[in-house]
């Protein structure tokens, strides 16, 4: 520096400069200038620091998302109510059986036919859930009932014998679609129009059997049977509707209208039950008759409270004509 102040000492040049500065800038002005220079320098330094920080943020990783916690209650708005989707198993169709024996072109297979041929058809009917009785080569009544069910489903002559048409149907059998697809997976469907019962378990065919439902005739009876107090006349009906099994009687039951074997009731005295006579046509007072060999175990396949659907019958339910005290 050109001027250095020391205690008790100065140079000539320094004294001259000092006097010139004092004349040009009074002491207070000089102090102000010094302070201004100091402040300006600080601002420049701070600005440079801020610019450096800005550059660092721009070139670095993006900031993490922040979570804001509020004391206000959190509300959840659901636009649509939650839905539950139940998957209904598709009906499984059986594999074809092209190797079934041929049926006579001008005749049919029935009682007395070749036992080996009969046994082949018995096995096929078993596989298709028609229950023709034991696979023993004997074309008995159980076999005839099973073949009748096949014929009823396809609108054929209900003679219980196997001709070329029945043979081809059994070889390439496909179940009809359920009457109540989408209903309970375990259910009984009584088709009054075709006179067939189909039992579904898990929406799959568990058993198909011929049946004989209400004749549609008018009949009268007294009730109760042991000590009658009423005489009732009604039309024999197996009415349309959805019902439930509600009572099972084990063995032969002596009812107002006759004996029933292993009846399982589903609507106002109407039951699925075994009977000695199960004609190919409607013949009952309102119940659904099934072959005796099937009635021995039917109740083990169904349960109280399980759904029973009736289709093809009258829609106006029970039809009482008169009821008189006696």
**What H or E segment, with its residue span, contains residue 59?**
helix 27-59
Kindly give the interhelix angle for 141-153 and 164-171, rounded to the nearest 10 degrees: 80
Encode pLDDT of 183-209 as tens digits: 999 999 999 999 999 999 999 999 999
Tokens of 324: 């008189």
Q: Strands 307-311 and 187-191: what pairing?
A: parallel
Encode pLDDT of 200-258 as tens digits: 999 999 999 999 999 999 999 999 988 999 999 999 999 999 999 999 999 999 999 99
Chain CA centroid to CA 106, Å: 47
pLDDT at 296 over 50: yes
Distances (CA, A) of 308 to 85, 193, 209, 271: 24, 16, 15, 10
Domains of the chain from N-terminus onward: 211-325 (2.40.440.10)
pLDDT at res. 230:
95
Query: Band of the pLDDT at 58, cuts 50, 70, 90?
Result: very low
- Strand, helix or coil at 210? strand
Going by C-alpha positions, the residue among 258, 236, 253 that lies closest to residue 318 is 236
The predicted model gives 301-313 an average pLDDT of 98
CB 2 within 8 A of CB 17: yes
pLDDT at res. 86:
67
Encode pLDDT of 101-144 as tens digits: 999 999 999 999 999 999 999 999 999 999 999 999 999 999 99
- Strand, helix or coil at 265? strand
């Amino acid at each position: 520096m050109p001027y250095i102040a020391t205690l008790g000492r100065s140079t000539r040049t320094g004294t001259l400069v000092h006097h010139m500065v004092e004349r040009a800038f009074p002491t207070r002005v000089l102090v102000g200038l010094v302070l201004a220079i100091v402040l300006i320098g600080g601002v420049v330094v701070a600005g440079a620091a801020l610019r450096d920080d800005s550059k660092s943020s721009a070139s670095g990783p993006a900031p993490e998302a922040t979570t804001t916690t509020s004391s206000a209650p959190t509300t959840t708005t659901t636009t649509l109510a939650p839905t539950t989707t139940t998957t209904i198993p598709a009906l499984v169709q059986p594999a074809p059986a092209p190797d079934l024996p041929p049926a006579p072109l001008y005749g049919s297979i029935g009682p007395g036919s070749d036992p080996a041929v009969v046994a082949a058809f018995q096995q096929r009917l078993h596989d298709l859930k028609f229950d023709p009785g034991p696979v023993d080569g004997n074309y008995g009544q159980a076999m005839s009932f099973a073949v009748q069910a096949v014929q009823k489903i396809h609108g054929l002559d209900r003679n219980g014998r196997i001709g070329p048409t029945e043979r081809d149907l059994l070889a390439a059998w496909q179940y009809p679609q359920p009457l109540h697809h989408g209903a309970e997976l375990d259910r009984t469907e009584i088709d009054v129009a075709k006179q067939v019962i189909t039992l579904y378990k898990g929406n799959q065919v568990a058993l198909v059997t011929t049946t004989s439902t209400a004749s549609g005739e008018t009949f009268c009876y007294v009730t109760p049977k042991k000590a009658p107090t009423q005489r009732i006349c009604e039309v024999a009906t197996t009415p349309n509707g959805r019902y439930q099994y509600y009572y099972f009687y084990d063995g032969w039951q002596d009812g107002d209208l006759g004996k029933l074997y292993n009846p399982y009731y589903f609507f106002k005295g109407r039951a699925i039950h075994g009977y000695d006579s199960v004609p190919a046509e409607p013949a009952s007072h309102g119940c659904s008759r099934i072959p005796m060999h099937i009635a021995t175990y039917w109740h083990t396949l169904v349960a109280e409270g399980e759904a029973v659907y009736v289709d093809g019958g009258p829609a106006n339910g029970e039809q009482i004509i008169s009821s008189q005290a006696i």
